[in-house]
Amino acid sequence: MANSGDCNDGNVSINPAGVETCNGIDDNCSGQTDEDFDADGDGYATCGGDCNDDDAALNPGVLEDCGDGIDNNCDDLIDCTDNGCSPDPVCLSDIDNDGIRDFEEKGPDGVDTSYDGNQDGIADYLQNEAVSLHSYDRTHYVTLACPNGLSGVLSLGPLSDAPEEVAFPYGFFRMTIDGVTPGGEERVTLYFDGEAPNTYYLFGSTIGEPTPHWYEFLYDGKTGAEIRAFDVTLHFVDGDGGDDNPTPDGTITSEGGPGIISRQAPLASGGGGGCSIIGRKINASDAFGTYGVILLAALCTRIWRRVRKKM
């Protein structure tokens, strides 16, 4: 016989005396679902996606406000990182004309209006002398700084024919430096947030080789990458090292990225006037040979026996 008020006679745990739990079911037959878990009364329980049950204006049913620094619709995406904000003018703004939208330069979460990646006292989104952006896969956040300013900055994913022996955890970056004295020098410093690189590769034309190609770009006293733990300074010369255009024209363009390569020193081989051991552990077998180890063990045993006789 069905109980009066039982809203689900096929489930013994659901009845007027049942305990309401946050599960999307009317456990106590009150005509409401999860009513004890919706403190702000916005119609969304904590188990129903409400990320702030103390504020009825924040729940999965509202539109994202693209400029308040809050996750309004509880999808873990804030402001311009939310897909619904892509056409909003706030998210298209690029005040400093460096090629990176302002929200992208406001820190990893896109909400820090004072973010200053190169620590020069000026927010990055307000100046083109510093550009902050995510790596292509958004796993890292990088800052590029150039005293003369940058434009056309992009983070790029895996490029064709990149050296296979090199890992590129940050992907690649394209940048342009305008207003350079023809034939003059410029430098760009990149600041990294994770793995420390030990090399830098560029892809482009070089003097004597106009066909774009990969080449390692390490500092030689004039041009190249000067590597220091988590930052790398790139030294360029207009129309020369690092510039994709081998003709001095007042503009430096560059495309490439920091890498990690295992540099193992080769084992020394016989020949020549001397010998050396490089990058190799020395163990007992190396030092004495197999017979040396046997003789040493026998000697130790003999000494131990003499000590025991005297005890």
User: Which one of 23-32, 43-52, 151-160, 174-183 scores highest in mean pLDDT?
Assistant: 174-183
Do residues 209 and 252 both lie within one domain? yes
Residue 27 falls inside a structural domain:
no
Q: 259, 277, 295 — which closes off a domain?
A: 259
Does residue 229 form part of some domain? yes
Nearest to 150 by CA among 170, 123, 179, 171: 179
Q: Mind spelling out the 3-state secondary structure of 59-85?
A: CCCCCCCCCCCCCCCCCCCCHHHCHHH
Cα separations in angstroms, 2 against 8, 26, 53, 207, 301: 9, 18, 36, 90, 90
Residue 4: band (very low, low, confident or very high) from pLDDT cuts 50, 70, 90: low
Which residues are paired to 257 by β-bridges?
201
Q: Do both 119 and 251 map to the same domain?
A: yes
Q: What's the confidence (pLDDT) of residue 85?
A: 85
* Summary mean pLDDT of the chain: 84
Note whether 208 and 287 are same-domain residues: no
Identify the domain containing residue 166 by its residue range.
94-259
Q: Are residues 121 and 157 in the same domain?
A: yes
Chain centroid, CA 175 distance in Å: 18
Least Cα distance to 158 among 116, 201, 190 occurs for 201
Tokens of 30: 């009150």
Q: Is residue 220 part of a domain?
A: yes
Write out the two tokens for 195: 């793995």
Angle in degrees, CA 178, 179, 185, rounded to 5: 90
The angle formed by the CA atoms of residues 166, 133 and 202, to the nearest 5 degrees, is: 35
d(CA 225, CA 229): 12
User: Based on the domain organization, do 107 and 247 belong to the same domain?
Assistant: yes
Q: What is the pTM of this model?
A: 0.66
- The answer to the question of residue 217 being in a domain is yes
In a domain, 202, yes or no: yes
Q: How far apart are CA 28 and CA 21, in angstroms?
A: 9
- Indicate whether 280 pLDDT > 60: no
Q: What is the mean pLDDT of residues 232-258?
A: 95
Same domain, 117 and 152: yes
Mark whether 202 and 160 lie in a shared domain. yes
Q: Does 300 lie in the same domain as 240? A: no
Is position 41 within any domain?
no
Same domain, 247 and 304: no
Q: Report the share of the chain in percent with pLDDT over 90.
A: 55
Domain C-terminal end among 259, 284, 303: 259
Q: Quick: pLDDT tens for 5-33.
A: 788 878 888 888 888 888 888 888 888 88
Does the residue 43 lie in any domain?
no
In a domain, 218, yes or no: yes
> Are residues 148 and 235 both part of a single domain?
yes
Alpha helix (H) ranges present in 34-193?
Answer: 89-92
The domain tally of the chain equals 2
| Residues 198, 173 share a domain | yes
Same domain for 178 and 271, yes or no, is: no
The pLDDT tens digits of the residues spanning 97-130 come to 999 999 999 999 888 999 999 999 999 999 999 9
